[in-house]
Homo-oligomer: A and B are copies of this chain.
Amino acid sequence: DKCLANSPVDFIICHGGKILIVPLEGSHWVNMDIMVKALHSRGHSVDVVRTNKSWYIKDDSPHYKTITVPVTEAFNHDFINPILKKIIDIERGESSAMSFASLQVEMFTAMFNMHRIMCKMATIMFQDKDLMNSLKERKYDLVLTDPAWGAGIMLAHALKLPLVYNVRWITSGEGHLAIAPSPLSYIPMTGSGLSDKMSFIQRVKNLIFYVIWQAQDGFLIGPQYQAVCDEFFGPEVRYSDLLQGADLWLMRADFVFEFPRPTMPNVVYMGGFQCKPSEPLPGDLEEFVQSSGEQGVIIMSLGTFVSELPADMANEIAAAFAKLPQKVIWRYKGDRPATLGNNTLLVDWMPQNDLLGHPKIKLFVAHGGTNGIQEAIYHGVPVVGLPVFFDQYDNLLRLKERGGAKLLTLATVDKGNNFLEAIEEVLTEPSYRMNMQRLSRLHRDQPMKPLDTALFWIEFVMRHKGAAHLRTESYRLPWYSYHSVDVVLSFLATVAVITFLPLVFFRYAQAVLLFPPKIPLCCFRF
């Protein structure tokens, strides 16, 4: 029996490990919380770092204990609706180029502030000797964090603990960019709206996006974290090394969703780990769904952040729905649109996964957040996409490229019959559903379920106190060595010398022997 033998390898399995989690807020926490519950149910004890102003992370849970950092400033999580309004105005052409610039500045500022507040939180932690000592004494087995915010990365370094990421984004874009070679010729940059097959002009655009992301990370975000490292660890500790040096990257993607690309041995794919078979709907919802008969049901949600739309846009959408023979369930918190049809049910919240797994659901009108996209793939439901911001267009593009989704822009959704036509096309053209069902089959056909894979590798890192053998340390090379620039230049220089030296010698000899005193040597010409 393993637990009697009590070897170091089996100890974690038998007695549970101690995990320190430094999560992100918002939808990232929704994901992380699923992992917390799974780790708890495997017998591990989990502590979660939060601030006293956390939006989502509750102070108490049966699944974890909290370590609350007292901060004086928190990020305003209601920043989305004003930004959304600006985006819609710009897309509709109702705003000037000036507003576009001011929107960019506003979004950059929001991002800058988020990281500034994170760094402030880390500083408060590191200055609190009692807190840090109690964390050290707790002897955690690893730190699990989302590296889009860097506090957890620095905390793992301070506590000298193995580091595992639950990751989709880093500060310079998509997670792979920090660790796997990413040729810009076929790896579309975050937010570029490009696929893995690009024309020359698209590849130029991709390069520009890359430069923008690098500049943003190198000048705005990176230095904030480096300043914290300088203060507490000394300037020889580079934040980028800490970021790249994690033991394991649990990536919230897989290659049913993501375009194929280079990866690394310590990247583990767990895309869709939150998906699960649907459970029965609440009675009244089931009744509404069943009332759709043969025609079935359409569901629509624009995610956690976007609770309302401009009234005219909401009216157009409601009017389009009213013309359909299907029933519609629409998650919407704004004012009830005047044109709302009898077939449409407005809800504040819906059991999205259970609905998507229901056989009556024919179509999902989605904003393209990762969670919803993964659930659509898992259940094989075709999508009409209405991307708003962040990675949503990119996410939906991946479904579209595989034939499972049709995309609209916010600017055109209420022009003519765009929205209605898109829905009717996806409902009547069988390829959309067939493609989503194929993706669903591919996604489900894995040796282990994604969540089990993630748990295996988290425990692997605990059992072996890291995963150094899966991690290259090539990131420690200077860039000119990493890319062999020094070797190639030296090689070319050597070739040049070997080629020209005899020539020089010959000319010299010729000059000296044939015309000894006549011309000064320094001036002869080839």
Contacts and interface: CB of A to CB of B under 8 A. Distances in A.
Interface of A: 9, 180-181, 183-186, 196-197, 200, 203-204, 207, 255-256, 259-266, 402, 441-442, 445, 447-448, 452-453, 456, 460, 463-464, 469-474, 477, 481-484, 486-488, 490-491
Contacts of A486: 200, 203
A262 B265 CA distance: 7
27 contacts: A9-B445, A181-B181, A181-B262, A184-B484, A185-B477, A185-B481, A185-B482, A186-B477, A196-B472, A196-B474, A200-B490, A203-B481, A207-B484, A207-B488, A207-B491, A255-B265, A256-B469, A260-B264, A260-B266, A260-B469, A260-B472, A262-B263, A442-B464, A442-B469, A445-B464, A447-B448, A447-B456
B447 A453 contact: yes
A487 B265 contact: no
Contact of A445 (B181, B203, B463, B471): B463
A9 B441 contact: yes
Quickly give the copy total for this chain: 2
Given A262-B180, A263-B262, A265-B261, A460 B445 contact: yes
Nearest to A206: B487
**Residue of A256, A259, A487 with highest tally of chain B CB at under 10 A:** A487
A470 B185 contact: no
Contacts of A200: 481, 486-487, 490
A9 B437 CA distance: 12
A470 to B, nearest CB: 5
A263 to B, nearest CB: 6
Contacts of A402: 469
A104 to B, nearest CB: 22
A261 B265 CA distance: 7
A185 B483 contact: yes
B265 A264 contact: no
Contacts of A184: 484, 487
Nearest to A255: B265
Contacts of A196: 472, 474
Contacts of A181: 181, 183, 262
